[in-house]
A and B are shown apart, each in its own frame.
Chain A
Amino acid sequence: MLKKLQLSLIFALLFSVTAFAQSGTITGTITDAETGEPLLGAYVFIESLQKGAGVNLDGEYTLSNVPVGTYTLTANFIGYKTFSSEVEVGTGTVTLDIAMEVDLIGLDEVVVTGFGTIDRQAFTGTVSSVSSESLESVPVASVDQALQGKASGVVITSSTGTPGATQDIRIRGLSSVNAGVSPLFVIDGVPVVNGNFSGSGATSSLGVLANLNSSDIESITILKDAASTAPYGARGTNGVVVITTKSGKAGNTTYSFSAQRGYNNQAVDGKEPASAALWDELYVEAVNNAFGPGYVSSSPWDGETDTDWGDITRRDDAVQQEYTLSARGGNEVTNFYASAGFFDQEGFVIGSSLNRFSGKFDISHQLDERVKLQNSFTGSWVEQDGILEGAGYFGSPILAKFFIPAIYSPYYDDGSLINNASDFGTSIYNPLYTQQNDIDRKRNSRVTNNTKLDVKLMDNLTLTSRFAVDVILTEEKFYNNRIYGDGDDVGGDVWDTNRRNFNYVWQNTLGYVWVPDVDHSFNFKAISETQRNYQRYLWGDGQGFAADGLYNISSTGGERDASSTTSDWAVQSFTGLVNYGYQNKLFFDGSVRYEGNSRFGQDDRWGTFWSVGVGYVLTEEDYLADLDWLNFLKVRASYGLTGNASVGINQYQATVDFGSYNLQPDIQTDNLGNNTLTWEKANSLDIGVEFEVFDKVSGGVTFFRKDSYDLLFNVPLSRTTGHNAQEQNIGELYNQGIEAELNVDVIRNRDFKWNIGANLSTLKNEITKLPVDGNGEVIEITGTTQYRASLGLPVRAWYMREWAGVDPANGDPLWYMDDGNGGRTTTNSYNSADLYYQNANPLPTLFGGINTRIDVKNFYVSTNLYYSFGNKVYDSWAFYMKSDGQFYTAFGYYQEQEDRWQQPGDIAKNPKPVFGGNQNSNSNSSRRLYDGDYLRLKTLNLGYNVPAKYLQNIGLKSASVYFLGQNLWTYAFDDDLGFDPEVDAAGYLNLNAPPLQSVTFGVKVNF
């Protein structure tokens, strides 16, 4: 109780009570209809009076000062059907005991679209929704991680397991070649900035979504089709993720406390690095194969050292914990939600971790019967201890596992860490020393404030004005110690950065509801929105510390450098929306948006986007209403035009920039520019059906096709221009696929419930038009040396030389080439081999999730299995780890190099090792391309809801304990892949920190 009192003080509230002269009281209990147990947390409400009350610990409610009259009283409780009854109030006390029935169906009744909510029945678009319950218990650093497998048509991958790193989200495939393909995020009605704010591309990314506490989220809706995304106009093509955070709710104040603690490990171990003995063998063989038999008989190996670099650079059972405390309640005038949270996660790789402090306060107040004010404030602070990621950096602890041969030890004979380049056998720095002594730290502070004013101008005309500000401050510190590592030449160095991003949105909405008669209803909205973003980036660095333990530039005695840059962008739009309903069975939606964006030249800045949608609920027709087994059937279709403006700031302008040569300022060519740069556009068609039969089977199937044109293409230029590419609106492609969802309540009664759900998505992507060069020939685009954009192929088609194995006669690498007669033959000359399409791209063509949940009395178990098929992934760094000797003694190998050619007749996977390399055997080819098909048990959740009867005595309303396992099991279909099949959307295995497997125990109580 003391705690409760303290909390009440912390979350101080304003209550206002209105008294009436002639009044009475309604009182009663609220209980479960079947068990008779009191329902703590239930709430009664009289709509016409805007008056409500919650129940006390005995399940009793009291509504006093009710003016004499007859009212409709409703009672609500999560998981139960809404109760509604007429009640007549005199001057005395009326008793109304309420018995509520469990709601066994529990379908989402409304759809959150970002511009408001709409009945699911009336909605003509296609969305996927994720509720707070499925987010709350999942401990993730960044909420987007929790969405994987829960929404059809959405591919979410994490390229790294470093806590807080950005996720790749691809909704319905890649709708662009060169422009951005990430969705728009809308939080509480306003578009927000997203992505990585880190100044260094070399170290771990830190997404600003990591600032959001997943416990504060009420729901996430992913908008996919034109009808739902066109209102976001130019930013809608890649889909929209609408996040609604929790706000106050009328009722007795409910306090919630949750705690979780868990342990992280690597989800997939990855390939085995070569043992010292194998490394030694390969060395001797490679040298003798290059310089003649017997040239050497041993390597630099001492014959003893066999260091498992993977083992010493990882942290087994890395701890993660999260604690949140919230209070939620209110009355008819004022509602509030307040929360505080702490999240802490250690990465699996030494030197990576994340912690977050967050707080939210949301309050709404009804000023009078016409005006309502709501303000939502969040503040958060995230600190990430990152690492140099990707294998390109000698400072990366992940690189160490493979790059440092096992023949070297990190320790001197006396057990201390090696800290001198000449004492360490390889050019890579001893990762144990650098992780202990260097700093790679990012801190994001984010404050958002969202103020909303609703004014009921007339009964059916409302004005909503919203002003939201979002301030993100990112500071980073990169410090290299003076003794050993990247900073040893300059006596240590430090690089401090500071990025400030300020974003505001001002949105005004005029809403008008027109119901001419009982058959027709119209809902109009006119919205104006302006958004502007300012960013300033400032950094300084310094070199030369006199002592250890100094980390700031002011302590440096050597050279110092500094820089500052600023940039801004703005978007402005005017949107009109209309919903029309006929007899609650036929629905039409329309939207039109006129939008301007500062990223385009003056004449091409504004664009018009639109959509139409139609929905027809067949079960509302008399001839179907008689079918008992058919509960619900709806067909819907939408078509519209959306845009994509994800190009860099100032891309349309031809500019020069400024550098320095020999301490004198100079001018350099910068951007070729293109004054006619404008929107990338997409026409989307969506046709779907939704159904529910036998009261227990529900689902839907949607077909979509999105034709993108005027693609924002980095049209490759001849490099003789001094530029690699020019941004142009050229090219066409389409994405199409089917999304299906099925949900079966196999058994649903009070003590035993079993639900199975599945979703499936297919995706096809094809380029139909490409730019042409001055000779009228199609320019094929090699974005990287492994991809190619070609007519008739997917956007990122894997296109490379095709590995034909190892020649048993001599151990040479073989590739395919055209034989000139329409067939193929093999060659050992890399420069003669031809390039072929590898029948895949990095995005899966078939993917989805299967989930099931079983509730037995108060116990439940649920699982989510994610599956993904049809893509291929590329091992970038096998260039080194499968080098067949090219890098002499410098680096390590995979243990699988054991299977190599040694003598004529050997059927081997890997060619003959040769000191200096075997004829480019390790260069780009399908030798390093693997099938990406996999299954993964994303979550396994076991829980127990403590029955209310045990809780009443200790003052709790509800309590639950649970166990959650994430990524507990992974199966990759390609045996040769070896690594975690979940890679970034670009399809590269980049030796980033591996995705995590975690087990978490949690407890949650409401009181």
Chain B
Amino acid sequence: MNKLLKSTLALLLVAGMTVGCENFLEPSVDQAIPTETAIPDAAALSAVVLGAHDYMNNTGLMGRDFPVSMEVMSDNAWSNGNSGRFIAQSQINHTVNSGYAIGQWDGWYQVLSNLNLAINADLPSSPAADHAKGQAHALRALVHMNLLMQFGQQNVSGGDASLGIPYVTTYSEGNLYPARDPIADVWSKINDDFATGISLMDPSQSDITVINYWAAKALQTRAFLYQENYAQVISIAEDVINNSGYSLTSADDYVAIWNGDSSPGSMFEMAYSESDRTGNNSIARIYQNTNYGDVEVTDELYNMHDDNDVRKALYSAEDEDPSDARPLNYRMVGKFVVELGNDNVPVVRFAEVVLNYAEALAATGNNAQALVQINSIAANRNAPLHTSGSIENVWMERRLELAMEGHRFLDLVRTGRDIESVDPSQTIVGGTVPAGSYLFALPIPQAEMDANSSMVQNSGYN
């Protein structure tokens, strides 16, 4: 008995000591797969491109913070601080620890990591693979443009006016601590990426919840407008207007389409399905009178609308708190309707292409044609027609049409205008931020400055 027991135990011990084979210590990877084998085929490549869209539709980017901040940092809107959100942007008050600057910097570069993973995937050319890579190139251009417009020094006087942003084209290889590229180089790479993307994409793929051929061209007109390359804007806009099949939505349909998931003349929009809607952090919850409800529209923007203008119906005007001095509170309630964030968020709409076209025409002295273009929009909104195609009228129509979609800040600063408090409730630091202020570029976040000694801080921030 004893002997048997002993030998059994001895065997157990030996067994215990030899379980140490490598398999025992090999961990499972159950929810992820190794990056090196992640893209075996065009379907996976397409999924990586979708993953970039997934990053883009986060609350920190297109899901809320980017479009809303671009409005709050302007004369279109302000934050009442009801839930403590968008206050710094509303005051145009940034520091190196500003949550908004960190979110934009980290967020857009995270999108780029996915795009570069797709673009550098080692797959043979096929229609599906080419289309996916074309999408990735076009998005890479768009993402860099969003970064450059916010962090570049092009609108700031007194600093190094050439400082752009790092243009990143690889994932997990190359220089992991890049320096800032000059603004001109960044634009040139953006232009190349748009061109490459458009050449690779299949024009017949028309799903507007992902980047597509015509949307890329529409965004190209925006990029060239930002670069003040008006000839390119005109030529590409004419291509889009004549050949894309899109047209301006009529006044009768305009509000109703906004009420649905999509938006009028939407060419590319971020989709928000049940599984990726923004929930409590939706644009609607911030714009509407909810328990967040921080972002209100200035009386100037509201009062610019003619009473017959169908766009005025997108706003609410109520005295929300009779005890305060403000007679009416104005809110954008018609473009983003569902509090849980099911509304798709437009990235580019056809009307913007028309406006980009009109602005390029006006800037190059073709005011008569510019007038035709802005009146085509006004007419389809039941708004009074303009009598001149002046650049000011183009800007006014642009402000009315694209209001609260995330354009106003960039439209003001790229055209060298001040940002003024136009509403008694606005608390912009100093009342007005003059053209050229250091505040017109976001600070490079402290974490980036600490990690990357090649990075140069924007002027005015320590």
Kindly state whether residue A22 has any CB partner on chain B within 8 Å.
no
Q: Are A559 and B274 in contact (CB under 8 A)?
A: yes
- Is A599 in the interface zone, CB < 8 Å from B? yes
B30 touches A720 (CB 8 A): no
Q: Does B2 sit within 8 A of A, measured CB to CB?
A: yes
In this complex, what residue of B is CB-closest to A834?
B462
Question: Cβ of B38: which chain A residues have Cβ within 8 Å of it?
Answer: 656, 667
Interfacial chain A residues near B17, Cβ < 8 Å: 508, 528, 574
Nearest CB on B from A572, distance (A): 5
- Contacts A574-B17, A602-B22 given: A721-B109 contact, CB under 8 Å? yes
* B-contact bits for A551-592, CB 8 A (1 contact / 0 none): 000000001010001111111101000000000000000000
List B10-66 residues whose CB lies under 8 Å from chain A. Answer: 10, 12-13, 16-17, 19-20, 22, 24-36, 38-39, 44, 47-48, 50-51, 53-55, 57
Task: Please give the distance in Å from A426's CB to the nearest CB on chain B.
Answer: 8
Contacts of B91 in A (CB 8 A): 916-917
Say if the beta carbon of B199 comes within 8 Å of chain A.
no
**With an 8 A cutoff between CB atoms, is B175 at the interface?**
yes
- Which residues of chain A come closer than 8 Å to B177, judged between CB atoms? 717-718, 773-775
Find A831's partner among B24, B445, B462 (CB 8 Å cutoff): B462
Q: Does B379 contact A (CB under 8 A)?
A: no
List, in ascending order, chain A residues with CB within 8 A of B57's CB.
661
Given A669-B171, A722-B113, A831-B462, A654 contacting B31 (CB threshold 8 A): no
Question: Does any Cβ of B come within 8 Å of A858's Cβ?
Answer: no
Which one of B244-252, B301-309, B317-325, B363-371 contacts A?
Answer: B317-325
| Nearest residue, chain B, Cβ from A571 | B25
Choose one: B84, B427, B462; the contact of A290 (CB below 8 Å).
B427
Identify A779's interface contact among B109, B274, B450, CB under 8 A.
B450
Give complex CA distance A662, B345 in Å: 13
* Residue among B38, B291, B324 with most chain A CB within 10 A: B291
B87 touches A917 (CB 8 A): yes
CA distance A661 to B47 in the complex (A): 9
The interface-forming segment of B152-160, B216-224, B410-418, B452-460 is B452-460
Chain A 513-534 per-residue mask, 1 if CB under 8 angstroms from chain B, else 0: 0000000000000001010100
CA of A788 to CA of B449 in the docked complex: distance in angstroms? 13
Q: How far is it, in angstroms, between the C-alpha of A693 and the C-alpha of B235 when the chains are bound?
A: 98
Interface residues in B79-133 by Cβ distance below 8 A to A read: 80-84, 87, 91, 93, 95-97, 105-106, 109-114, 117
Can you spell out 25 A-B residue pairs with CB atoms less than 8 angstroms apart? Answer: A300-B324, A368-B2, A421-B290, A427-B293, A453-B9, A506-B16, A565-B31, A567-B27, A605-B22, A650-B29, A654-B36, A656-B34, A656-B48, A659-B51, A660-B54, A661-B57, A667-B39, A668-B54, A669-B114, A719-B105, A722-B171, A774-B175, A785-B446, A890-B81, A916-B427
B6 touches A457 (CB 8 A): yes
Asked whether, in the complex, the Cβ of A720 is within 8 Å of the Cβ of B340, the reply is: no
Q: Is the CB of B55 within 8 A of A668?
A: yes
What 4 A-B pairs are tightest by C-beta distance, nearest first?
A722-B113, A916-B427, A716-B451, A666-B50
Per-residue CB proximity of A632-671 to B under 8 Å, as 1/0?
0000000000000000011001111111111111111111
Q: Is A781 an interface residue (CB 8 A)?
A: yes
Chain A nearest Cβ from B56, distance in angstroms: 9
A722 and B451 within 8 A (CB): no
Interface of B is mostly: loop
* CB of A730 closer than 8 Å to a CB of B: no
Chain A: minimal CB distance from B360 (Å) = 32
Instruction: Enumerate chain A residues within 8 angstroms of B29, measured Cβ to Cβ.
Output: 650, 653, 655
A510 CB within 8 Å of chain B: yes
B-contact 0/1 string along A852-864, CB 8 Å cutoff = 0000000000000
- Min Cβ gap B128→A in Å is 15
Q: CA of A572 to CA of B83 in the docked complex: distance in angstroms? A: 51
Least CB separation from A543: chain B residue: B340
Q: Are A508 and B12 in contact (CB under 8 A)?
A: yes
Structural contact, A661 and B166, CB atoms closer than 8 A: no
Q: How far is the CA of A10 from the CA of B166 in the complex (A)?
A: 74
- How far is B25's CA from A291's CA once the two chains are assembled, in angstroms? 67
Knowing A655-B32, A655-B35, the reply to whether A831 touches B95 (Cβ < 8 A) is yes
CB atoms of B84 and A890 under 8 A apart? yes
A788 to B447, alpha carbons, bound, how many Å?
A: 10
Q: Mark A390-431, 1 if CB is under 8 A from B, else 0.
A: 000010000000000000000000000000010000010100
- How far in angstroms is the closest Cβ of chain A from B209? 5
Question: Do A568 and B117 have beta carbons less than 8 Å apart?
Answer: no
Assembled-state Cα–Cα distance A817/B324 (Å): 40
Q: Does A949 contact B (CB under 8 A)?
A: no
* Inter-chain contacts of B22 with A (CB < 8 A): 602, 605
B261, chain A: closest CB distance, angstroms: 11
> Is the CB of A888 closer than 8 A to any CB of chain B?
yes
B117→A572 contact, CB < 8 A: no
Taking a contact as CB atoms under 8 Å apart, the answer to whether B110 and A722 are in contact is yes
Q: Which residues of A contact B106 (CB under 8 A)?
A: 719, 724
- A661-B50 contact, Cβ under 8 Å, with A370-B2, A574-B17, A774-B176: yes
| A667 engages B47 (CB within 8 Å) | yes
Cβ-based interface call for B401 (8 A)? no
Q: Which residues of B contact A673 (CB under 8 A)?
A: 35
B445 surroundings in chain A (CB, below 8 A)? 719
A-B pairs with CB below 8 Å: how many? 283
Do B97 and A833 touch (CB < 8 A)? no
Given A718-B176, A722-B114, A785 contacting B97 (CB threshold 8 A): yes
Query: Could you tell me the distance in whole angstroms from the C-beta of A557 to the nearest C-beta in chain B?
Result: 14
Separation in Å of the A650 CB from the closest CB of chain B? 6
Rounded to whole angstroms, the CA-CA distance of A368 and B339 in the bound complex is 74
Chain B residue with minimal CB distance to A291?
B424
Instruction: Find the residue from B32, B39, B172, B455 having the highest chain A CB count within 10 A.
Output: B32
> Using a CB-CB cutoff of 8 Å, which residues 867-919 of chain A contact chain B?
880, 886-891, 915-917
Q: Any chain B CB within 8 A of the CB of A196? A: no
Complex Cα–Cα for A186 and B448 (A): 41
Which of A290, A429, A718 makes the CB contact (< 8 A) with B448?
A718
Residue pair B30, A567 in contact (C-beta under 8 Å): yes
- Are A668 and B114 in contact, CB atoms less than 8 angstroms apart? yes
Beyond A530-B24, A655-B34, whether A427 also contacts B50 by CB under 8 A is: no
A971 to B36 alpha-carbon distance, docked (Å): 58
Q: Which residues of chain A come closer than 8 Å to B26, judged between CB atoms?
A: 598, 602
Q: Is A490 an interface residue (CB 8 A)?
A: yes
Task: Judge whether B233 is part of the interface by a CB distance below 8 angstroms.
Answer: no
| Beyond A720-B109, A720-B112, 5 additional pairs, beta carbon < 8 A | A427-B293, A655-B34, A667-B51, A724-B106, A774-B177
Asked whether, in the complex, the Cβ of A721 is within 8 Å of the Cβ of B113, the reply is yes
Is A117 positioned at the interface, with any CB of B under 8 Å from its CB?
Answer: no
Q: How far is the CA of A291 from the CA of B424 in the complex (A)?
A: 8
Q: With A719-B106, A720-B168, A886-B87 given, is the CB distance from A530 to B446 under 8 Å?
A: no
* B276 adjacent to A660 (CB under 8 Å): yes
CB of B204 within 8 A of chain A? no
Q: Judge whether B84 and A891 touch: CB under 8 Å.
A: yes
Give the residue among B48, B273, B324, B452 with the most A Cβ atoms within 10 A. Answer: B452
- Which residues of B sit under 8 angstroms from A664, Cβ to Cβ? 47, 50
Whether B25 contacts A596 by the Cβ 8 Å rule is: yes
A296 on the B face (CB < 8 A)? yes
Tell me if A88 is interfacial: C-beta within 8 Å of chain B: no
**Contact between B95 and A920 (Cβ–Cβ < 8 Å)?**
yes
In the bound complex, how far is the Cα of B454 from the Cα of A453, in angstroms? 62
Residues in A neighbouring B209, C-beta threshold 8 A: 662
User: Is A449 an interface residue when CB atoms closer than 8 A count as contact?
Assistant: no
A179 at the B interface (CB under 8 A): no
Is there an interface contact between A371 and B114, defined as CB atoms closer than 8 Å? Answer: no
> Which residues of B are found within 8 Å of A720, using beta-carbon distances?
109, 112, 166, 168, 178, 448, 452
CB within 8 Å of B: which A714-745 residues: 716-724
Which listed residue, B30, B114, B427, B452, touches A718 by the CB 8 Å rule?
A: B452
CA distance A270 to B96 in the complex (A): 31
Contact with A along B162-185 (1 / 0, CB 8 A): 000010100110011110000000
A22-56 contact mask (Cβ, 8 Å, vs B): 1 or 0? 00000000000000000000000000000000000
